[in-house]
Structure 1
Amino acid sequence: MLAAIAALSFTTACSDSGGGSTSTNSSRASSTPASAATDADAARITMKNFAFSPVTLTVKAGEKVTVVNDDSAAHTVTASQGGAFDTGSIAGGKSGNFTAPSKAGSYAFTCTFHPNMKGTLTVS
């Protein structure tokens, strides 16, 4: 009887391990959306060493722009004129986003905390 209980426990443990496999497969399934997210992140501004990269970014009207702060200090991406876009404060090591204006044109932007950080968003 004791051997039967031990065998049943072993079988249950093995089936739990199979559940782990299913979880791994789920992770693989979620990697597909991650790939899609990477494609969506093509419109990206990175802030590093108190500079924007790229300095000039071209996007489509209404496109989502991801902003990544790789510095330790907080930064913003703020349109210089007309309030066309503003990320607000993005803490060091964090990210944010904004939607590009719906009107085509060239939009200068800066960091409100560090005015020497400048860039241009071109909307087509």
Structure 2
Amino acid sequence: MGLITMENFAFSPANPQVRPGEKITVVNKDSAAHTVTATEGNAFDTGSIPGGKSRTFTAPSKVGEYAFVCTFHPNMKGTLIVR
């Protein structure tokens, strides 16, 4: 299972590598709500994750690189690498 942590208004890792269809847990360690939202298409979107909470989503089944952003804080960016 993959893991993305949101802390200090940044994703860690910013470029996680996962397998197609892998479950990814997102942990928000900030007090502000964040999202993990694909920037193109509807590949994935966690919706709002309140501070101190976590949510799980499924990686796309197609191999490739998927840019993502926090819709509340557009300076938070990353790329999900599916291989």
TM-score after normalising by structure 1: 0.66
Separation (CA, whole Å) in 1 of partners of 2:38 and 2:57: 11
Structure 1: which 4+ aligned runs deviate by more than 4 Å? none
Aligned to 1:27: none
Structure 1: gaps spanning 5 or more residues: 1-39
Report SS of the residue matched to 2:43.
Answer: coil
Aligned to 1:73: 32
Higher helix share: 1
Deviations 1:1-48 (A, max 9, x none): xxxxxxxxxxxxxxxxxxxxxxxxxxxxxxxxxxxxxxx4xx100000
Aligned to 1:56: 15
- The one of 60, 65, 68 equivalent to 1:106 is 65
Identity %: 72
Letter in 2 for 1:120: T
Separation (CA, whole Å) in 2 of partners of 1:63 and 1:87: 14
Shift of 1:99: 0.2
Which protein has the larger Cα radius of gyration, Structure 1 or Structure 2?
1
Shift of 1:97: 1.1
Letter in 1 for 2:58: T
Aligned to 1:89: 48
TM-score after normalising by structure 2: 0.98
Higher strand share: 2
Shift of 1:86: 0.3
User: May I ask how many residue pairs the two structures share in their alignment?
Assistant: 83
Aligned to 2:3: 44
Shift of 1:111: 0.1
Aligned to 2:77: 118
Separation (CA, whole Å) in 2 of partners of 1:105 and 1:44: 18
